[in-house]
A and B are shown apart, each in its own frame.
Chain A
Amino acid sequence: MSDIVVAPVPPVHTHRVRSESPMVRACLIGIALAFLGVFLILPLTVVFLEAFANGWQAYIENILETDALAAIRLTLLVAIIAVPLNVIFGVAAAWAVAKFEFRGKNLLISLIDLPFSVSPVISGLVYVLLFGAQGYFGPWLKSHGVEIIFALSGIVLATLFVTFPFVARELIPHMQTLGNNDEEAALTLGASGWQTFVKITLPNVKWSLLYGVLLCNARAMGEFGAVAVVSGKIRGLTTTMPLHIEILFNEYMSAAAFAVASLLALLALVTLAVKTWLEWRFADEIAARSGH
Chain B
Amino acid sequence: MLRSIPRYLVHLLALLAMAFCLAITMGAARAQTTLLNVSYDPTRELYRDINREFISDWKARTGQTLTIRQSHGGSGSQARSVIDGLNADIVTLALSADIDAIAERTKKLPDQWQKRLPQNSSPYTSTIIFLVRKGNPKGVRDWDDLVKPGIQVITPNPKTSGGARWNYLAAWAFADKLFNKDETKVRDFVGRLLNNVPILDTGARASTNTFTKRGIGDVLLSWENEAFLALKEAGGDQFEILVPSLSILAEPPVALIDANVDTNKTRSAAQAYLEFLYTPKAQAIIAKNFYRPRDAQHVDPKDLVRFPKIELVNIDDAFGGWSKVQQAHFADGGIFDQIYKPGR
Residue positions of A touching B, CB distance < 8 A: 73-74, 77, 80-81, 84, 87, 128, 132-135, 138, 142, 147, 149-150, 152, 198-199, 202-203, 232-237, 247, 249-252, 285
30 contacts between A and B (CB under 8 A): A77-B22, A77-B23, A80-B15, A80-B16, A80-B18, A81-B16, A81-B23, A84-B12, A132-B84, A133-B83, A133-B84, A133-B85, A149-B85, A150-B81, A150-B87, A152-B23, A152-B26, A199-B2, A199-B5, A202-B5, A202-B8, A203-B1, A232-B38, A232-B71, A234-B69, A234-B71, A247-B72, A249-B209, A250-B41, A252-B229
Q: Is B106 part of the binding interface, using a Cβ–Cβ cutoff of 8 Å?
A: yes
Closest chain A residue to B22 by CB distance? A77
Instruction: Give the residue of B26, B84, B233 whose beta carbon is less than 8 angstroms from that of A252.
Output: B233
A-B residue pairs, 6 tightest by C-beta: A133-B85, A132-B84, A80-B19, A232-B86, A252-B233, A150-B86
Q: Is B45 part of the binding interface, using a Cβ–Cβ cutoff of 8 Å?
A: yes
The reply to whether A128 and B84 contact each other, CB–CB distance below 8 Å, is yes
Q: Is B306 part of the binding interface, using a Cβ–Cβ cutoff of 8 Å?
A: no
Q: Is B206 part of the binding interface, using a Cβ–Cβ cutoff of 8 Å?
A: yes
The reply to whether B73 and A233 contact each other, CB–CB distance below 8 Å, is yes
CB distance from B290 to the nearest CB of A (A): 14
Q: Which residues of A contact B150 (CB under 8 A)?
A: none
A236 touching B69 in the complex, CB below 8 Å, given contacts A80-B19, A150-B86: yes
Q: Is B185 part of the binding interface, using a Cβ–Cβ cutoff of 8 Å?
A: no
The reply to whether B87 and A235 contact each other, CB–CB distance below 8 Å, is no
Interface residues on B, range: 35 or more
Q: Which residues of B contact A132 (CB under 8 A)?
A: 84-85
Closest chain B residue to A76 by CB distance? B22
Closest chain B residue to A80 by CB distance? B19
Q: Which residues of A contact B6 (CB under 8 A)?
A: 198
Instruction: Give the residue of B44, B69, B72, B229 whose beta carbon is less than 8 angstroms from that of A237.
Output: B69
A251 touching B45 in the complex, CB below 8 Å, given contacts A80-B19, A203-B2: yes
The reply to whether B19 and A81 contact each other, CB–CB distance below 8 Å, is yes
The reply to whether B71 and A147 contact each other, CB–CB distance below 8 Å, is no
Q: Is B281 part of the binding interface, using a Cβ–Cβ cutoff of 8 Å?
A: no
What is the bound-complex CA distance between A171 and B86, given in angstroms?
39
Q: Which residues of B contact A232 (CB under 8 A)?
A: 38, 71, 81, 86
User: Which residues of chain B (305-338) have a CB below 8 Å from chain A?
Assistant: none
| Besides A134-B105, A149-B85, 15 other A-B contacts (C-beta < 8 A) | A73-B22, A81-B23, A128-B84, A133-B85, A138-B84, A138-B85, A150-B84, A150-B86, A152-B26, A199-B2, A203-B5, A232-B81, A234-B36, A234-B71, A235-B70
The reply to whether A84 and B15 contact each other, CB–CB distance below 8 Å, is yes
Instruction: Give the residue of A81, A147, A251 whose beta carbon is less than 8 angstroms from that of B87.
Output: A147
Q: Is B205 part of the binding interface, using a Cβ–Cβ cutoff of 8 Å?
A: yes
Instruction: Give the residue of B36, B72, B83 whose beta carbon is less than 8 angstroms from that of A134.
Output: B83
Closest chain A residue to B106 by CB distance? A133
Q: Which residues of B contact A198 (CB under 8 A)?
A: 5-6
Q: Which residues of B contact A77 (CB under 8 A)?
A: 19, 22-23, 26
Q: Which residues of A contact B81 (CB under 8 A)?
A: 150, 232
Which residue of A84, A147, A150, A252 has the most chain B CB atoms within 10 A of its CB atom?
A252
What is the bound-complex CA distance between A54 and B24, given in angstroms?
37
Closest chain A residue to B230 by CB distance? A252
Q: Which residues of A contact B15 (CB under 8 A)?
A: 80, 84
What is the bound-complex CA distance between A132 and B209, given in angstroms?
31
The reply to whether A135 and B84 contact each other, CB–CB distance below 8 Å, is yes
Closest chain A residue to B37 by CB distance? A234
CB distance from A230 to the nearest CB of B (A): 9
What is the bound-complex CA distance between A132 and B106, given in angstroms?
12
CB distance from A84 to the nearest CB of B (A): 5
Closest chain A residue to B233 by CB distance? A252
Q: Which residues of A contact B105 (CB under 8 A)?
A: 134
Q: Which residues of B contact A203 (CB under 8 A)?
A: 1-2, 5
Fill in one digit per residue for B74-116: 1 if any A CB lies within 8 Å of its CB, else 0. 0000000101111100000000000000000110000000000
The reply to whether B45 and A84 contact each other, CB–CB distance below 8 Å, is no
Q: Which residues of A contact B72 (CB under 8 A)?
A: 233, 247, 250
What is the bound-complex CA distance between A135 and B206, given in angstroms?
29
Q: Which residues of B contact A250 (CB under 8 A)?
A: 41, 44, 72, 205-206, 209
Closest chain B residue to A198 by CB distance? B5
What is the bound-complex CA distance between A199 and B5, given in angstroms?
7
Q: Which residues of A contact B83 (CB under 8 A)?
A: 133-134
Q: Which residues of B contact A150 (CB under 8 A)?
A: 81, 84-87
Q: Which residues of B contact A234 (CB under 8 A)?
A: 36, 69-71, 86
